[in-house]
């Protein structure tokens, strides 16, 4: 997962309302210059699914967005039309969470001033004014992203009523829950037992999503360490209780679990457990799904 910084300026909050990021392919033609590509618009091509994007306007970070996928070609969104740009551009669909308490850059300057140059050597923050430089979208370092994430309300991050309530469909002991894509989440009596054991809290971050329109009023997912599609067992020792974010990270190999319950892929994280886990399944996940280094 990468971290990004986007300057929203006068367009805010239209991108949030429309659920997207958008940038032109190139500048408009003028009397003196032909159209040309702009590097901080072209960065749209480098954003990947699940990347985190900090949204800045008027001296503060006001929201965090998560990319639903990679870019695709698109005309200007209907709620964004601006004649200063060409109509053709790139769009990334994104899920936004507005921060309850915006991150005011000047208040954090002494901590973040060393992060102001990004990986390509571009100045993200102007030291003299202690504010963002003039650009649209640029990568920021993992350390910078992690620092900013300290001030994000994790419990409300990217979860909304439509994902854990109104779009939930239950049939014959199975339910489909929209997280970022539709995934089948088994809701057997066994998985319910695991959820109740942990009071519907994630075993990694201790978050319970609530309130929701689910029958129980709160939400968490039962995750199989070795997927059933890969001949994993539907047994307690193959099931852990996770929030949708950590469930997705486990399923797609962003994180894995060592035998001592250390979570690889997250800083200083361990999985809290009240029940025994099958170490053969943990080893299988490390060898076959995890995409990082141990």
Runs of H (alpha helix) within 252-290: 279-288
**CA triple 249-252-254, angle to 5 deg:** 50
**Which of 274, 281, 222, 231 lies closest to 257, judged by CA?**
281
pLDDT in tens, 190-213: 788 899 999 999 999 999 999 888
pLDDT in tens, 236-288: 899 999 999 999 999 989 999 999 999 999 998 999 999 999 999 999 999 99
Domain boundaries defined on the chain: 3-156, 161-288
Residue, of 132 and 181, whose pLDDT is higher: 132
How does DSSP classify residue 243? -
Whether residue 163 contacts residue 177, with contact meaning beta carbons closer than 8 Å, is answered with yes
**0.85 surpassed by pTM:** no
Question: Which uninterrupted H or E stretch holds 106?
Answer: none
pLDDT value of position 160: 39
Output b/e per residue, 131-145; b: 16+ Cβ within 10 A.
bbbebbbbbbbeebb
Distance CA 178, CA 158 (A): 12
pLDDT in tens, 33-77: 777 788 999 999 999 998 999 999 999 999 999 999 999 999 988
CATH architecture of 3-156: Roll (3.10)
Distance CA 76, CA 23 (A): 8
**Which of 236, 159, 152 lies closest to 198, judged by CA?**
236
How does DSSP classify residue 166? I
CA 266 → CA 1, 29, 84, 179, distances in Å? Answer: 11, 47, 42, 20
């Amino acid at each position: 997962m990468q971290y990004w910084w986007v300057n929203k300026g006068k367009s805010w909050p239209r991108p949030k309302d429309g659920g997207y990021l958008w940038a032109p392919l190139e500048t408009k033609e003028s009397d003196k210059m032909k159209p040309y590509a702009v590097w901080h618009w072209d960065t749209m091509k480098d954003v990947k699914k699940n990347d985190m994007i900090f949204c800045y306007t008027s001296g503060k970070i006001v929201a965090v967005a998560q990319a639903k996928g990679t870019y695709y070609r698109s005309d200007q969104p209907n709620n964004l039309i601006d004649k200063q740009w060409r109509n053709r551009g790139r769009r990334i669909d994104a899920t936004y969470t507005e921060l309850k308490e915006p991150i005011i850059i000047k208040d954090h300057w002494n901590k973040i001033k060393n992060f102001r140059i990004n990986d390509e050597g571009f100045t993200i923050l102007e030291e003299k004014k202690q504010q963002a430089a003039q650009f649209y979208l640029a990568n920021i370092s993992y350390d910078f992203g992690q620092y900013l994430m300290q001030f994000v309300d994790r419990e409300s991050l990217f979860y909304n009523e439509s994902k854990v309530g109104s779009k939930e469909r239950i049939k014959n002991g199975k339910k489909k829950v929209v997280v970022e894509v539709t995934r089948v989440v088994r809701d057997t009596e066994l998985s319910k037992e695991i959820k109740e054991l942990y009071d519907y809290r994630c075993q990694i971050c201790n978050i319970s999503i609530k309130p929701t329109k689910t029958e129980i009023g709160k939400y968490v997912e039962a995750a199989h360490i070795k997927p059933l599609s890969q001949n994993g067992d539907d047994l307690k020792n193959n099931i852990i209780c996770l929030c949708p974010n950590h469930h997705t990270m486990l399923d797609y190999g962003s994180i894995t679990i060592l035998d001592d319950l250390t979570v690889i892929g997250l800083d200083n994280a361990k999985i809290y457990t009240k029940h025994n886990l099958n170490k053969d399944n943990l080893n299988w996940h490390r060898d076959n799904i995890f995409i990082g280094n141990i």
